[in-house]
Amino acid sequence: MSLVRIEALTKQYPGGVLALDDLTLQLEPGIIGLVGSNGAGKSTLIRILLGLLPATSGRAFVLDRDVATDGIGVRALVGYMPEHDALPPDVSATTLVNHMAMLSGLPRGAARERTAEVLRHVGLYEERYRPIGGYSTGMRQRVMLAQALVHDPRLLLLDEPTNGLDPAGRDEMLDLIRRTGREFGIAIILASHLLGEIERVGDFLVAIEGGRLLQAAPLADFTTKTGVVRVELDDDPAPFAQRLDVAGLAHRVDGFDVLIDLGGQDYDLVRDAVAELGLGLVRIEPERRTLEDLFR
């Protein structure tokens, strides 16, 4: 059984905007990063997967349920965190999350228990009895995550969950999402326009642009070693670079760093050259490709 299966999915909005253009994709459980710039079609895709929005053509299945015909079946198994704030100010986090749990079919007692657990899990304590109107952005995002988790979904759809958070809040939210996915075995689709976030949390990457699929592959494929090492020296690397010229190795100087394509040779060469020149060697590190390279 696949987590998500999408066949030639197209969504054209009444205004004529083509949000998804013939998207075909199959995803297996894991933490999936859905990346694309603003307006790339991320939110549209998520809303179609929830059965909140009808597709113009094509089909989509979540956990083998057709989102067009079995929206209720899909939504029973999925938790959703929209990209915008969606919290009423006049009720407490406990009241809201409890209500959402019961709307997902949990009996009263179980709903109350799960509400307490899940609010604790996201880090809300005494404040959960106060009206949400007084919460900080970080607390509000946690409530949004809690309501998505409260019915123990098989899949979490998180649409820009770090929206509006400061760097510390962002770190905590990403950490929470990673633990939710890794330790509790809940599949996650995390939409973000920030590659860095997905690099930190995800293990599979789907990149879309203009409603079309750019890439879909395990994250490791994007960040493999490149055969290039970065050598950081404590002094002007010019003499060292000359040595490399003599040895016939391609290289590039970047401040006190030298990037060298070793072409399979080992690091001893670097160590010896640095030692003979009497330079201080700060570090030698294999250079990894970053996701940003993909989009350059």
Instruction: Give the whole-angstrom CA distance, residue 6 versus residue 82.
Output: 21
Least spacing, CB of residue 93 vs other proteins, in Å: 13
One-letter identity of residue 182 = R
Instruction: Give the whole-angstrom CA distance, residue 252 versus residue 248.
Output: 13
Told to check if 105 binds other proteins by CB under 8 A, we report: yes
Least spacing, CB of residue 126 vs other proteins, in Å: 10
Q: In sequence order, which ranges of the chain are alpha helices (DSSP H)?
A: 42-49, 71-77, 93-103, 108-121, 137-149, 167-184, 195-201, 219-222, 238-247, 268-277, 291-294
Told to check if 66 binds other proteins by CB under 8 A, we report: no
- CA 182 to chain centroid, in Å, comes to 13
177's CB contacts (< 8 A; 6+ apart) are: 31, 145, 158, 161, 188, 190, 201
Q: Which is nearer to other proteins, 121 or 251 (CB)?
A: 121
Least spacing, CB of residue 253 vs other proteins, in Å: 42
Residues within window 120-139 making contact with other proteins, judged by CB under 8 A: 120-123, 138
Contact 138, 145 (CB under 8 A): no
Told to check if 54 binds other proteins by CB under 8 A, we report: no
DSSP string, 119-187: HHHTT--GGGGSBGGG--HHHHHHHHHHHHHTT--SEEEEESTTTT--HHHHHHHHHHHHHHHHHH--E
Interface pattern 22-51 for other proteins (x via CB under 8 A): ----------------------------x-
Least spacing, CB of residue 164 vs other proteins, in Å: 14
Q: Which is nearer to other proteins, 110 or 214 (CB)?
A: 110
Q: Which is nearer to other proteins, 88 or 196 (CB)?
A: 88
Residues within window 71-90 making contact with other proteins, judged by CB under 8 A: 71-73, 75-76, 78-80, 82, 84-90
Least spacing, CB of residue 121 vs other proteins, in Å: 5
Binding footprint of other proteins, residue count (CB under 8 A)? 48
Instruction: Give the whole-angstrom CA distance, residue 296 versus residue 281.
Output: 31
| Interface region with other proteins, contact rule CB under 8 A, candidates 31-39, 169-177, 197-205, 273-281 | 169-177
Among 94, 141, 147, 162, binds other proteins (CB under 8 A): 147
34 C-beta neighbours (distance < 10 Å), count: 28
Told to check if 104 binds other proteins by CB under 8 A, we report: yes
Residues interacting with other proteins, by CB under 8 A? Answer: 50, 52, 71-73, 75-76, 78-80, 82, 84-91, 95, 99-100, 102-107, 110, 114, 117-118, 120-123, 138, 142, 147, 151-152, 172, 175-176, 179-180, 183-184
